[in-house]
Amino acid sequence: MFVDKAKIKIKAGDGGDGAVSFHREKYVAAGGPDGGDGGRGGDIVFQVDDNFSTLIDFRYKRKYVAERGQNGGARHCTGKSAPPLIIKVPRGTLIRDAKTGRIMADMSTDEPKILAKGGQGGKGNSNFATSTRQIPRFAKPGYQGEEFEVTLELKLLADVGLVGFPNVGKSTLISVVSSAKPKIANYHFTTLTPVLGVVRADEEKSFVMADIPGLIEGAGDGVGLGHEFLRHVERCRLIVHIVDVSGIEGRDPKDDFRIINQELAKFNEELAKRPQIVVANKADMATEEQIEDFRKFIEEQGMPFFCISAVTTKGTKELVKKITEVLDTLPPIREYEPEPIPQAELDDMTGRKFEITLEDGIYYVGAQWLQPIMRTVDPDDYSSLQYFQRVLINSGIIAELEKMGVQEGDTVDIEGFEFDFVY
């Protein structure tokens, strides 16, 4: 099964928590805090693997979570950092943020790309010792790893894209000029998935050709099979437009040419402007008048024209030579640049957002980012509570509570942790 779109969730590993520990050794009095830092969480890394040709694996597994960093230990021992989670995808996979549509990475090269970074480890209590706070009984929790829902979209990497109506001979042509072996039969939509073939022009030159399933009128609006695969033409440097010049299907070759170009433009304006070579196929079944009439029409459009018979291979060598010459003048296959994170999204990721509601005399504070911090707070330790109070003040939660009219002795609930408000 050829699958070229998928949606998955990726979650980098959280950082390990810092340790609360005190040095204990015989004959060493008041050894002091020695809690180590937590280890870093594992990154989510995408890597190209040429053994994959579709995204079918992502139909069955939709969530990928990297390992969490190890917690810190006693004697200043830092927790072990988690290994990266490597996700392998076919070459040409475009990765977008599912929420915003932002391009995050284009997997067209062998370079691995980090899509979600693991959280930093939390600081151990040895980092918080001062001359006035010699016995810190708190440590920092590990930071959360980045989390995204992403869409994977495979856009084949091919130099040349074959387009045209069904049954015009695209599969026959690619089977003749390359080693590709697509299914060939005398009925519409024989080709159900894109087919890639490497065409060797000479000993030192070759290019990749893609046979795209036949388009029909309305493909740009989602009619037929062609619209599902038009994305695979987007990267092609050159479009080879195959037309049945014999008219054996009962269609006018000129109308075929116009319709296909209209559908390309509907899908993407850039495609209509892409360099084209128009190939009149099935010349062995056409009359001289039909060929010359169509040749004149195409040359009036200012496009190169070739007349071939893919079945008998007549004219195919000359076509390959011409394609090679044109490709030498064109820029390399398009690669998509990652798009920057919008400021609003950046603020959501880095900002400490919270929400406060008043119900039955209790002030409920919703702030998920506080949960890992609260895990390390010791209500019975004064210095630990001081640290927690500073977090609430710096984040603006205390100021918002006061604005809402909180009084001393009122109950405040922060993510399930209840306490009486004290000035």
Q: State phi, psi for 78 to the nearest 5 degrees.
A: -80, 140
Report the chain's terminal Cα–Cα distance, integer Å.
65
In sequence order, what E strands does 339-404 have? Answer: 355-359, 362-366
Domain range for residue 388? 351-420
Same domain? For 173 and 267 the reply is yes
Question: Is 117 contained in some domain?
Answer: yes
Same domain? For 49 and 144 the reply is yes
**CA pair distance 370, 244, nearest whole angstrom:** 67
Question: Is 87 contained in some domain?
Answer: yes
Is residue 196 within 8 A of residue 158, CB to CB? The reply is yes
Strand order in the sheet with 362-366: 355-359, 362-366, 411-414, 417-420
Same domain? For 19 and 100 the reply is yes
Same domain? For 288 and 367 the reply is no
Same domain? For 302 and 414 the reply is no
Give me the number of domains the chain comprises: 3
Same domain? For 320 and 391 the reply is no
Q: Residue 98: which residues within 8 A CB-CB, separation 6 or more?
A: 7, 148, 149, 150, 151
Q: What would the pLDDT profile of 146-179 be if each residue is shown by its tens digit?
A: 899 999 988 878 899 888 888 888 888 988 888 7
Q: What average pLDDT does the segment 393-420 reach?
A: 86
Same domain? For 141 and 175 the reply is no
Q: What would the pLDDT profile of 178-222 be if each residue is shown by its tens digit?
A: 876 765 555 445 445 678 888 888 777 888 888 887 665 554 455
Question: Is 334 contained in some domain?
Answer: no
DSSP 416: T
Is residue 138 within 8 A of residue 378, CB to CB? The reply is yes
Question: Is 343 contained in some domain?
Answer: no
**CA pair distance 292, 297, nearest whole angstrom:** 9
Question: Is 366 contained in some domain?
Answer: yes
**Angle between helices 253-267 and 288-300 in degrees, nearest 10:** 40
Question: Is 378 contained in some domain?
Answer: yes
For the domain that residue 83 is a member of, what is the CATH number?
2.70.210.12
Same domain? For 41 and 140 the reply is yes
Q: What would the pLDDT profile of 234-286 be if each residue is shown by its tens digit?
A: 788 899 999 999 888 788 899 989 988 888 888 778 877 889 999 999 988 88
